[in-house]
Structure 1
């Protein structure tokens, strides 16, 4: 008899909870959506609505005629830009700096995070983290001023030491050959510490059991770093690399502008400074918008291409 009751209980249909409508789901999670609202408003006001401004790239924009009254010229500004002799020079300077950035700066936060992860004394680790984070909060004006104090030929600390050992000084600030190494060195010093935040957060999720198993297998620190720590960072590295490629042609206006002078301008001019000079100083609003749109299109192509390659090699992309 008890067996029959058990069989009837098993055969009884399960009660399926009623499906909630989309509005009911939103109402249920209303506080989560409320937290999301400031971010949505920010992107609407400062990212999406300003995108209408790219239409200036297809106009001969005049402030007196307004946005809709200006003459439409199609791809005229793009043709002018691609046929300009400065295009090759700007592309060369920008791409070289971007490649230097990927080769020297992108691995720097990863290496620093791996080194910090190996520091076992907590107070030393926190002190080093604080010291390497501080430059991120300095403006590029301060960084440029510090660079001038250290590198100027008029009593700069570095040049004083160079002169003491070699008998001559080096024009770091004005010689074209030193411009790119100086820019990359500034970026590494300023942003490497801040870049470790994401990697250290990813390392915090690594199970200690994996390290213990590696120790049991006889792996030293380098082996544990290579076979346990780096694989844990692989997905984070891939995602950040894809996002970095999206800004491949964005080398930052402020830093380049502050370190540019008449002697190194031939290698210092990049798309960002060119947009400033053409758009602000010469009033070529439509032309400078076309240059900016070209950079954005290249960034989108690189993001999609890198994301596709990441998935082809078995890594998770950003979408």
Structure 2
């Protein structure tokens, strides 16, 4: 009887160990299936690819349709910059979306703002009998537009990109933060930015390009040099090729013109071209006037308003101003 009891105890111990082993295996399979093969793993892999600027891997994971648009944001430095400060804060439990599909909501911080993106994944296969394989359900990538009249390029997330049209469409992953700006010697546009968080999002970034102070200073210098030439001669009431004049009785030399108010330089875009607004100023004439009847002489000092147009030509590193005098 004692031998039988020992056998029973041994069998019971073995059965208990087996049950514990099976239970442990079930727990391990559950966690491996959830973490290593589950939808959360796919989303983490996708986010890692975005942060590394690996657009090929990100696109392969997302299985997304790429719209007919500029692809500058889909790889390399531009992509990496769009998620430079991306931090995943929480991945929620999968929500059943029917037909072996789930929706996974990701909460994150990007560009100093918190946001959420939802990804739909579908069970596509099973590995080793126990482990599910999940893939992103195909969807189109979101797009954004950049409008920048009068310029042919811009900096998109730090990468110089050609803008062949006034408005250019870009394809992008999500979530990403896009910043567009333009800076050159003669023109600049303040940065405009926005966030794309889902395939349904759209983003319209409009660059307002203006003349830099460098351009205004160079144009102003050319205008002042032109007017200096007009005031250099001291023998004309109407200096040739100049925007000011005065007709009166006989005068004596010297005839002195002096600019009392220089034109304010204003540069604006018209139909895609940069033009100068009319240049308005004041000039003072100082001389001695002789009365034709009495011969009496008297000082003459008169201030004249003047206005003229000028043609503006802007190269990559130089500017020319051509006055247009009627």
Between structures 1 and 2, the one with greater helix share = 1
Same-fold status (TM-score > 0.5): no
Q: State the TM-score, normalized to the length of structure 2.
A: 0.16
- Say which structure, 1 or 2, has more relative contact order (CA 8 Å, 6+ apart): 1
Q: State the TM-score, normalized to the length of structure 1.
A: 0.16
Between structures 1 and 2, the one with greater strand share = 2
